[in-house]
Amino acid sequence: MGILKGKYNCWRLSHADQVAFLVDGAAYFEALSDAIDQAQETILIAAWDIDSRIQLLRRNDSANNQKDLGEFLNAKAKSTAGLHVYVLNWDFPMLYAREREWLPIFNLGWKTHRRIHYHLDDEHPIGASQHQKFAVVDDRVAFCGGLDLSNSRWDTPEHLFDDPRRKNPDGNSYSPFHDIQMAVRGEAAATLGELFRDRWEQATGNRINLNKSESVSPWPKNLHPDISDIEVAISRTLPAYKGREEVREVEQLYLDGIGAAEKSIYIENQYLTSAKVAQALGNSLSQEEGPEIFMILPRESSGWLEQSTMDALRARLLKSLFKADRHHRLRVFYPVLDDRETSLYVHSKLMIVDDQLAVIGSANLSNRSMGLDSECNLAIEAGDNSTAAEAIASLRNRLLAEHLDVSIDAVSKALVDQPSMIKTIDSLSASSGRRLKNLDYDQPLPVDGGAIMQNQQLLDPEAPIEYDRMMDRFVEDEKSQPRAGQLIKIAGVLLVLLALAAAWRWTPLSGWINRENLVAWTNEIRGHPMSFPAVLGAYVVGGLIMAPVTLLVGVTAMIYAPVWGAFYAWSGCLLSALTTFLVGSKVGKQMVRKLAGKRLNRLSRQMAKQGVLTVAIIRNIPVAPFTIVNLIAGASHIRLKDYLIGTALGMLPGILAVTLFADRLLHTIKNPGWINGSIAAVIAIALIVGNLWLTKRLSGVKRKDEGRG
């Protein structure tokens, strides 16, 4: 076949001494526990979710002989000199709070060993997640797939409906759960270790040292390898972020595998919403001669929200696929476990092509897994290696046997007797009990799917939103804008405000700037017939001498009532922007280029390309002073209409925030009290937090050139 190609559909092709397929959580948890028990140097865990309270071992004879995961890792670190444990967990939004451990033991430094390092990874675009799920022990053994070390993941291939061991840390039972992990030993594990170190450095700014000792491989003692001596491909999804180019190796691997298939494609996946993958499957089905396509999906997604969104998107794609299936080569099933129609939740992310290619990893067949979330998949290709081909076929037969409640030998024999997967499934399917059922993609959904279809890019995006992509164009060098400097600036502003407040309170200034005088001054200014033209003129002059626009807005807000203050400030900003825009257009590109420098020249090019959206976004991020942006805009030949509309839209939120803050601050001075002071403090905190977030979002990241494409 020759499907796997480094730096195209995979990051690296690395040799593995041994490879094993771990079906369902019990097998993975037990193997990982054994490997951790043998660890001597490092334990690296990348997770979408992790729960320190889960038990890895739940055999009937050992249900209570192991501590919780957090205590297990803590004890291991204490008993093994020099061992370091690194846990990189997604910094999840509050939407997931009910499903997760609120405060993992790893995050409580005083409860864990000093060589256990835990970090919440928030270095990703808005709406994205750290979805990679792999663990590396001593850079010699690694596990990668769809399973997190989290609650509600453990289960056995029997998927017993009333298994007393299938309980979450709160003691509540959860439904049967199916997933797959791959274990590798050798160079492939070291490569996954390198991937983890890259991610850790990106998330924390610190690099994990690599030990190169010759310790014994921590391969699990009871884990029988399925394949030996084979190349393993490591494919990633990484979204464009802070100057890093996007990586879509996982998507390309799926497209290449589907395109190369001749006899059969076997897929197990949690979702099916990827437009490009669906198009590739549809192209295959439309051919007169092509592979049978067999998919096992969950009956429905977990939770009302996903049923209303992801299931609706899936239904639309399935309709298009069956419409393209003129030669009847497509079957889509979900597993049930008994006559009560208890369905098995399919969480695995696997594709097997022609007994030649096996892909296992964290990536769902969704748009976001192809371009927005960070993902990691492993793949092996048999080629001329007959032993590897037999192992890949055996994995597929093993999975079918599990879902059909028959022996692996029965599946193998049926495929020999009639080399058609569809006919094999039909011949082995029972009419009751544990079996595979046709997925009814026309079943009613909790909400009307019409709105879902119209908002697919919001519900299942394949790339960072436009705002985030625009932010990436203004990422600064981390060395040029240290975070400490930003904090000092913010602290300085707060100290000035506190000093003014103290002066008004405890010095003779309080007798001059009192309530009566403030009211008299503001009333006099407000009532003057030239008040509004004077404000506009002040903004124009302020823009020409590069006065901070925030200061002008704040003064305006303290003189006028909130509504009029916001209107005057907004009008003044627009007129000042127009004036300096015209100046920039007259002095020309060369003069502005010298003034702006290399980094801001990128801003000029981008403004000319994108128009209204770019200007609106730039008005809310601190890429350059107000006047500099106006001059660059004038020199960039952006359309004046786009520029003014973008400025009007972009400036309004900030003006309203500053106006409200200034109004409350003035009220606090006039009428000291905890209500006005509290409101002003809350707004100030919101402004500071927003500034800190923007500073962090715009700070660069250290990254290695090799392997980042």
Indicate if the pLDDT at residue 561 is higher than 60.
Answer: yes
Domain boundaries, the chain: 12-464, 468-698
**How many Cα neighbours within 13 Å face the side chain of 568?**
26
What is the structure's pLDDT at 301? 84
What is the structure's pLDDT at 543? 81
**In the numeric block, which tokens belong to residue 462?**
């394949």
Q: What is the mean pLDDT of residues 281-291?
A: 96
pLDDT digits (tens, 9 = 90+) for 438-484: 998 776 655 554 554 455 555 677 777 655 665 565 555 444 444 45
Task: Please tell me the chain's helix, strand, coil percentages from 3-state DSSP, rounded to the nearest 5.
Answer: 50, 15, 35
What is the structure's pLDDT at 652? 85
**In the numeric block, which tokens belong to residue 643?**
């520029």
At which residue do the structure tokens 């597929």 appear? 396
The band of 698, judged by pLDDT with boundaries at 50, 70 and 90, is: low
**In the numeric block, which tokens belong to residue 612?**
């209204």
| Number of Cβ atoms within 10 Å of the Cβ of 271 | 25
Cα Rg, the chain, nearest whole Å = 30
- 553 torsion bin: left (phi>0), alpha (psi -120 to 50), beta (else): alpha
C-alpha to C-alpha distance for 237 and 46, rounded to whole angstroms: 14
pLDDT-wise least confident of 201-205, 435-439, 587-591: 587-591
- The answer to pTM > 0.85 is no
C-alpha to C-alpha distance for 81 and 114, rounded to whole angstroms: 12
Indicate if the pLDDT at residue 187 is higher than 80.
Answer: yes
Q: Are residues 646 and 614 in contact, defined by beta-carbon separation less than 8 angstroms?
A: yes
What sign for the dihedral angle of Cα 277, 281, 286, 288?
positive
DSSP code, position 106: G
pLDDT digits (tens, 9 = 90+) for 28-61: 999 999 999 999 999 999 999 999 999 999 876 5
Indicate if the pLDDT at residue 345 is higher than 70.
Answer: yes
What is the structure's pLDDT at 535? 84
Of 385 and 595, more confident: 385
> What would the DSSP string read from start to end of 629-693?
HHHHHHHHT--HHHHHHHHHHHHHHHHHHHHHHHHHHHHHHHS--HHHHHHHHHHHHHHHHHHHH
What is the structure's pLDDT at 310? 86
Indicate if the pLDDT at residue 10 is higher than 50.
Answer: yes
Q: What is the mean pLDDT of residues 181-203?
A: 96
Indicate if the pLDDT at residue 591 is higher than 80.
Answer: no
| Closest C-alpha among 654, 675, 683, 694 to residue 556 | 654
Q: What is the mean pLDDT of residues 236-241?
A: 94
pLDDT-wise least confident of 88-97, 110-119, 551-560, 671-680: 671-680
Backbone angles phi, psi at 297, to 5 degrees: -125, 165
DSSP code, position 434: S
Of 403 and 699, more confident: 403
What is the structure's pLDDT at 460? 73
What is the structure's pLDDT at 701? 53
pLDDT-wise least confident of 37-41, 44-48, 637-641, 705-709: 705-709
DSSP code, position 222: T
The band of 667, judged by pLDDT with boundaries at 50, 70 and 90, is: low
The band of 14, judged by pLDDT with boundaries at 50, 70 and 90, is: very high
3-state secondary structure 593-623: HHHHCHHHHHHHHHHHHHCHHHHHHHCCCCC
Q: Are residues 621 and 698 in contact, defined by beta-carbon separation less than 8 angstroms?
A: yes
pLDDT digits (tens, 9 = 90+) for 60-102: 655 455 678 999 999 999 999 999 999 999 986 555 555 667 6
| Closest C-alpha among 190, 208, 187, 188 to residue 199 | 208
Q: Are residues 196 and 136 in contact, defined by beta-carbon separation less than 8 angstroms?
A: yes
**How many Cα neighbours within 13 Å face the side chain of 339?**
2
Indicate if the pLDDT at residue 512 is higher than 70.
Answer: no
Q: What is the mean pLDDT of residues 232-250?
A: 93
Indicate if the pLDDT at residue 694 is higher than 90.
Answer: no
C-alpha to C-alpha distance for 460 and 16, rounded to whole angstroms: 35
C-alpha to C-alpha distance for 398 and 58, rounded to whole angstroms: 22
The band of 347, judged by pLDDT with boundaries at 50, 70 and 90, is: very high
Residue 492 host element (H or E): helix 483-506
pLDDT-wise least confident of 355-364, 384-393, 480-489: 480-489
Q: What is the mean pLDDT of residues 518-531?
A: 64
In Å, the largest CA–CA distance within the chain is: 101
C-alpha to C-alpha distance for 91 and 102, rounded to whole angstroms: 12
C-alpha to C-alpha distance for 446 and 307, rounded to whole angstroms: 7
**In the numeric block, which tokens belong to residue 199?**
């991610």
The band of 706, judged by pLDDT with boundaries at 50, 70 and 90, is: very low
C-alpha to C-alpha distance for 617 and 651, rounded to whole angstroms: 9
What is the structure's pLDDT at 708? 32
Of 702 and 156, more confident: 156
The partner residues of 120 in beta bridges, in order of sequence, read: 89
Indicate if the pLDDT at residue 141 is higher than 60.
Answer: yes
| Number of Cβ atoms within 10 Å of the Cβ of 237 | 26
| Number of Cβ atoms within 10 Å of the Cβ of 527 | 8
**Average pLDDT along the chain:** 82
What is the structure's pLDDT at 479? 46
Of 696 and 274, more confident: 274
Instruction: State percent of the chain over pLDDT 70.
Output: 72
Task: Report in angstroms the alpha-carbon separations of 173 from 16, 24, 166, 168.
Answer: 38, 17, 6, 6
C-alpha to C-alpha distance for 189 and 234, rounded to whole angstroms: 10
List helix spans (H) across 82-204.
Answer: 187-204
The band of 705, judged by pLDDT with boundaries at 50, 70 and 90, is: very low
Indicate if the pLDDT at residue 392 is higher than 90.
Answer: yes
